[in-house]
Amino acid sequence: MLKQPPGGEMPPSSPDPGVASPLNFKEVVRDKSSDKHGDDELGEWVKRLTKIAERPWKVKDDENLRPMVPAEEEALAAWAMGALVLDAPPAFLVCAHTFAQRVAFLNFFEAHLESVIAAVIPPYVRMPKHVAEKTLLAQLAVSEKENTPGHIQTRNLIRQVKRADYNDATRRITFVVKDKIQADSWHRKSIQFRGVKLLLLSTVKLRSFV
């Protein structure tokens, strides 16, 4: 039976018997993706682990950490494999891992799970030297007529973006998304911005051709 950790917070319950494990995630996807029941089962597994990973916890000192419970170990493994897509490393790390370990997880997240989409703005398009991220995304959001395919596509991109930046020296817009698969799906697609079509390129895809 799980013991209550310091601070009066109850850990999440252990995974239910028979629920898909991240250790055989690829097999689950391959075996179940062809039928609706399998899709539902996989969706419930992802939903359950996402809830565990995103549950907020109070930060603990390195000397007052608690061990992870099996459900958290499952969520951490799924996240590290890319099977679980999160906006940030799992929240329970703040009370189960040291500060140095959490920094390492963050570096891993940024280096191996997040990905970048880039687009170059033509020289004839006037751009201010500095553009705030909110302004950049707001201008992008209204670049297409509402309810058109282009508008829907642009809104989908904005929803996936974690950070956006414009570099005046290179005239390049970069979008950071939380998942490499998402980034790759945008490779060579076009979006409208300031009256011109911009070609989106996944930096990971570009490196694969070098």
SS3 120: strand
Q: Please state the pTM of the whole predicted model.
A: 0.58
Record the tokens describing residue 168, joined without a space.
């005046």
Task: Please write the tens of the pLDDT for every residue from 58-89.
Answer: 999 999 999 999 999 999 998 888 788 887 88
Averaged pLDDT, 191-198: 92
Size (the chain), residues: 210
Q: Which residues of 58-81 are buried (b: 16+ CB within 10 A; e: fewer)?
A: eebeeeebbebbebbebbbbbbbe
188 conformational bin, left if phi > 0, alpha if psi -120 to 50, beta if neither: left
> Does residue 26 carry a pLDDT above 70?
no
Predicted confidence at residue 107, as pLDDT, reads 78
Cβ-in-10-Å burial (0-12, 13-18, 19+) of 204 comes to middle
48 vs 75: CA distance, rounded Å: 9
Averaged pLDDT, 13-41: 50
Averaged pLDDT, 136-164: 90
Q: Which domains does the chain have, with CATH numbers?
A: 22-113 (no CATH), 115-208 (3.30.70)
Q: What average pLDDT does the structure give for the chain?
A: 80
